[in-house]
């Protein structure tokens, strides 16, 4: 979708001057960020910059002590469906199929629809051959695929992904990237935390760069990689920035 069309749609979520303090330390420092209704927004920045906390703010799991978070322009529920996939997915003591069926039940999918929806998610994640295996026995890449299709089963409007391919090999990474691309093409707005500039180039429409709890650059992905708008982002891409 063109940059112009993306900008025409109201943001699905927005942080305005959000501040998060813990133990006297400012972790998120007056952060303002709009998540477009469509496309992939990559959130980049050094370790400890506040990327995961920003995802939690966007998920409504953390409330800002100052400033505001809103979804579809409203600060209170009903919110659009938001799904958050953590850096290390938590797997239940269930089979792969059991994991998905259980998730569909918690999403309120009627019992009679669950088996077909589960099969569709297994196909999407290329997990059919592993369906009866305990989820905790899966490899890291397989668990990430399962976590991602489990989240997609909720049919979220906003999908928040925290380094979904950290420590995966190139093939597993490609499989996850395909799932992310498919979700975005189907109309889900995606916020992707990544340390991998190659991945951001491949997937992102926009990039927001975070440093010490503040956004220092927020640009179309092409522009960000051609001419990052902040000194911190330039230093990060050159491998020179530490928090
Ligand atoms: N509940 C908390 N209490 C105190 N400090 C916290 C809490 N949660 C996060 N922090 C601190 O806030 C800062 C930002 O953490 P966050 O996990 O958002 O960083 P990040 O950008 O995602 O880093 P990484 O790239 O290493 O995952 C870190 O210094 C972290 O130690």
- Residue 147 lies inside a defined structural domain of this protein: no
- Residue 70 lies inside a defined structural domain of this protein: yes
Please answer whether residues 189 and 14 qualify as being in contact, where contact means their C-beta atoms are separated by less than 8 angstroms.
no
pLDDT digits (tens, 9 = 90+) for 81-135: 899 998 888 898 999 999 999 999 999 999 999 999 999 999 999 999 999 999 9
Closest C-alpha residue for ligand 1 atom 3: 22
Q: Are residues 183 and 206 in the same domain?
A: yes
Looking up tokens 């749609």, which residue turns up?
9
- Residue 194 lies inside a defined structural domain of this protein: yes
Tokens of 104: 């569909």
Q: Are residues 28 and 114 in the same domain?
A: no
Q: Are residues 192 and 84 in the same domain?
A: yes
Give the whole-angstrom CA distance, residue 195 versus residue 176: 15
Q: Are residues 123 and 215 in the same domain?
A: no
Which is it for strands 189-193 and 40-44: parallel, antiparallel or unpaired?
Answer: parallel
Q: Are residues 188 and 131 in the same domain?
A: no
Looking up tokens 């979220």, which residue turns up?
156
User: DSSP of 185-200, one letter per residue?
Assistant: HTT-EEEEE-S-HHHH
How far is ligand 1, taken at its centre, from the CA of residue 54, in Å? 10
- Residue 142 lies inside a defined structural domain of this protein: no
pLDDT digits (tens, 9 = 90+) for 6-17: 545 789 999 999
- Residue 62 lies inside a defined structural domain of this protein: yes
- Is 47 close to ligand 1, i.e. is its CB under 6 Å away? yes
Q: Are residues 111 and 201 in the same domain?
A: no
Mean per-residue pLDDT of the chain: 92
Looking up tokens 């990052």, which residue turns up?
228
The reply to whether omega before 119 is within 30° of 0 (cis) is: no
Q: Are residues 133 and 159 in the same domain?
A: no
Go through the chain and tell me how many residues it has.
243
Q: Which is more confidently placed, 145 or 3?
A: 145
Instruction: Tell me, yes or no, if the pTM score tops 0.80.
Output: yes
pLDDT of residue 5: 57
Q: Are residues 127 and 164 in the same domain?
A: no
Task: Point out the domain boundary residue: 78, 105, 137.
Answer: 137
Closest C-alpha residue for ligand 1 atom 7: 22
- Residue 169 lies inside a defined structural domain of this protein: yes
pLDDT of residue 153: 95
Task: Point out the domain boundary residue: 74, 102, 137.
Answer: 137
pLDDT digits (tens, 9 = 90+) for 225-240: 999 999 999 999 998 8
ipTM confidence: 0.96
pLDDT of residue 21: 95
- Is 56 close to ligand 1, i.e. is its CB under 6 Å away? no
Q: Which is more confidently placed, 90 or 80?
A: 90
Please answer whether residues 70 and 14 qualify as being in contact, where contact means their C-beta atoms are separated by less than 8 angstroms.
yes
Q: Are residues 33 and 122 in the same domain?
A: no
- Is 194 close to ligand 1, i.e. is its CB under 6 Å away? no
- Residue 74 lies inside a defined structural domain of this protein: yes
pLDDT digits (tens, 9 = 90+) for 172-203: 899 899 999 999 999 999 999 999 999 999 99
Average pLDDT over residues 6-35: 89
Could you give the number of structural domains in the chain? 2
Give the whole-angstrom CA distance, residue 94 versus residue 70: 35
Q: What angle do CA 117, 113, 185 make, to 5 degrees?
A: 35
- Domain span including residue 113: 93-137
- Is 22 close to ligand 1, i.e. is its CB under 6 Å away? yes
- Residue 214 lies inside a defined structural domain of this protein: yes
Q: Are residues 194 and 76 in the same domain?
A: yes
Q: Are residues 208 and 110 in the same domain?
A: no
Closest C-alpha residue for ligand 1 atom 4: 22
pLDDT of residue 9: 73
Q: Are residues 85 and 104 in the same domain?
A: no
């Amino acid at each position: 979708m063109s940059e112009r069309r993306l900008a025409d749609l109201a943001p699905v979520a927005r942080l305005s001057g959000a501040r998060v303090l813990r133990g006297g330390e400012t972790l998120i420092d007056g952060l303002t960020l709009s998540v477009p209704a469509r496309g992939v927004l990559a959130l980049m920045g050094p370790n400890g910059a506040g990327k995961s906390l920003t995802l939690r703010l966007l998920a409504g799991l953390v409330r800002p002590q100052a400033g505001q978070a809103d979804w579809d322009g409203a600060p209170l529920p009903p919110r659009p469906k938001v799904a958050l996939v953590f850096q290390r997915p938590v797997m239940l003591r269930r089979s792969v199929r059991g994991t998905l069926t259980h998730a569909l039940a918690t999403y309120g999918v009627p019992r009679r629809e669950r088996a077909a929806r589960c099969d569709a998610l297994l196909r999407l994640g290329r997990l059919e051959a592993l369906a009866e295996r305990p989820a905790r026995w899966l490899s890291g890449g397989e668990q990430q695929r399962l976590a991602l299709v489990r989240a997609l089963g909720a049919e979220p409007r906003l999908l928040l992904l925290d380094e979904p391919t950290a420590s995966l090999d190139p093939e597993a990474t490609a499989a996850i990237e395909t799932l992310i691309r498919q979700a975005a093409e189907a109309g889900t707005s995606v916020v992707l935390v990544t340390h991998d500039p190659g991945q951001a180039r491949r997937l992102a429409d926009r990039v927001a760069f975070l440093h010490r709890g503040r956004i220092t650059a927020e640009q179309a992905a092409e522009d960000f990689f051609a001419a990052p708008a902040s000194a911190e982002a330039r230093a990060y891409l050159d491998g020179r920035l530490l928090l």
